[in-house]
């Protein structure tokens, strides 16, 4: 497990985010999303993580334990279903 990632993180840039949004096909959502500057707040309580995403358009949060299955549906964002997060070295993977 890496050093603590806890804290507040402001988005500076997104590499190829516009290409990703184009692939999703929703023009209105893409135009809104490209103008957003999101903030992530990461908290850790024992082996449980809470990641809050804060923007002017929408706020949401997830709570999970690394390596344990959980359900998340990113409704209205990219409409993905996610089930599990795990660390691979210093990186957090879905």
In tens, the pLDDT along 79-90 reads 666 665 666 666
pLDDT of the residue at 1: 45
- Comparing CA positions, the residue from 80, 81, 43, 79 lying closest to residue 64 is 43
Rounded to 10 degrees, what is the CA torsion of 84, 51, 62, 35?
Answer: -110
pLDDT of the residue at 10: 93
- Comparing CA positions, the residue from 32, 86, 88 lying closest to residue 58 is 32
pLDDT of the residue at 43: 95
pLDDT digits (tens, 9 = 90+) for 57-72: 778 888 888 777 777 7
pLDDT of the residue at 77: 62
Taking residue 74's Cβ as centre, other Cβ atoms within 10 Å add up to 13
14-26 burial, b at 16+ Cβ within 10 Å, e below that, comes to eeeeeeebeeeee
What are the structural domain ranges in the chain? 7-11+38-93
pLDDT digits (tens, 9 = 90+) for 4-54: 889 999 988 888 888 988 887 888 878 888 888 889 999 999 888 898 989
Q: Which residues pair with 50 in a beta bridge?
A: 43, 63
- Comparing CA positions, the residue from 19, 55, 16 lying closest to residue 39 is 55
* pTM of the shown model: 0.65
pLDDT of the residue at 75: 61
Superfamily of segment(s) 7-11+38-93: Calycin beta-barrel core domain (2.40.128.20)
């Amino acid at each position: 497990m890496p050093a603590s990632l806890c804290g507040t993180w402001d988005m500076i840039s997104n590499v190829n985010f516009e290409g990703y949004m184009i692939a999703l096909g929703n023009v209105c959502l893409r135009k809104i999303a490209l103008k957003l500057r999101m903030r992530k707040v990461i908290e850790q309580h024992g082996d449980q993580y809470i990641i809050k995403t804060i923007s002017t358009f929408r706020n949401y949060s997830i709570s999970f334990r690394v390596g344990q299955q959980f359900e998340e549906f990113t409704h209205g964002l990219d409409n993905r279903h996610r089930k599990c997060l795990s660390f691979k070295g210093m990186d957090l993977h879905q």
